[in-house]
Amino acid sequence: MKKILFYIVLIASFVFSFLNAKNAFSQKLISKHTYTISKGNIEFATTINSLYQTNDKLIFEVYTSTSGIFKLKKDVRKERSIFDILDNQIVSKKYTFSRQKKDGYEEYLTKISRDSSKNSSTLIEKNDKKETIDHPYIENVQDRLSVQLDYKNKLKIGQYAQVYTVLDKGRVREYTYSVESLDTINTIFGETKCIVVRRVIKDNKRSTLTWYAIDEGFIPVIIKQYRKKNLQFTAELDNTED
């Protein structure tokens, strides 16, 4: 009888531990947006933006891969930002980026310090070469993904002009957001009122125009990236799960 009770307790303990572990690592999908990327009339890639919540953090993931005939030219990119929200502000903690091509790969891992006595750091790995870059403490610094979420939150409260310091794949960069115009376009939501915002990165030849859907929680519905005045690509929202 004692042996039976022992096994019952052991099994119960195992099940309890398993359920706790499963709960700790469970992810709840908050939103998922899928974009088709094209140049001219040629579609060449797909991007999926997913926002998750766990028990103790928020995760924003972006997965981009070539599509159609362009799959032959393999190019897969994965980005992930782990962050918190404190006082209505996005607080980035960790950012990762990886790119896999037919002829090699590159990875970036940025850990962001919120302690003024400690540096942030970025580990860069390209093929078989590794390098670590230390970044002096910067208050309110964002990563390449968290800045997108923070700016969308700023739009919701009418704070349209913003300047951010961003740790961008091992570099410290300045992102400036400013409103270009208001526009009404046809999207998957039908006729959609948008605020059009330009993002400029200091000392970079690229700029980005984004159409944010005003009545849809400021979801980006069209994104156009330019190099100088030349359009490089257009990303258009074609599916959403909220």
The closest alpha carbon to 60, from 83, 43, 40, 39, belongs to 83
Q: Which two tokens stand for residue 122?
A: 């970025």
Q: Looking at residue 56, what is its pLDDT?
A: 82
Domain count, the chain: 1
- pTM value is 0.86
Q: Looking at the predicted structure, is the pLDDT value of residue 12 above 60?
A: no
- Within a domain: 2: no
- Within a domain: 77: yes
- Within a domain: 21: no
Where does the pLDDT of residue 24 fall: very low under 50, low under 70, confident under 90, or very high at 90 and above? very low
- Within a domain: 19: no
Q: Whole domain around residue 80: which residue ranges? A: 26-241
Where does the pLDDT of residue 44 fall: very low under 50, low under 70, confident under 90, or very high at 90 and above? very high
CA distance 210 to 219: 10
CA distance 213 to 190: 11
Q: Looking at the predicted structure, is the pLDDT value of residue 4 above 70?
A: no
Q: pLDDT tens-digit profile of 140-199?
A: 999 999 999 999 999 999 999 999 999 999 999 999 999 999 999 999 999 999 999 999
CATH code: domain of residue 159: 2.50.20
Q: Could you give the percent of the chain with pLDDT greater than 90?
A: 77
Residue 148 and residue 154 in contact, taking contact as beta carbons nearer than 8 Å: no
- Within a domain: 1: no
Q: pLDDT tens-digit profile of 209-225?
A: 999 999 999 999 999 99
| Other CB atoms within 10 A of residue 225 CB | 17
- Within a domain: 101: yes
Residue 142 and residue 156 in contact, taking contact as beta carbons nearer than 8 Å: no
- Within a domain: 12: no
- Within a domain: 16: no
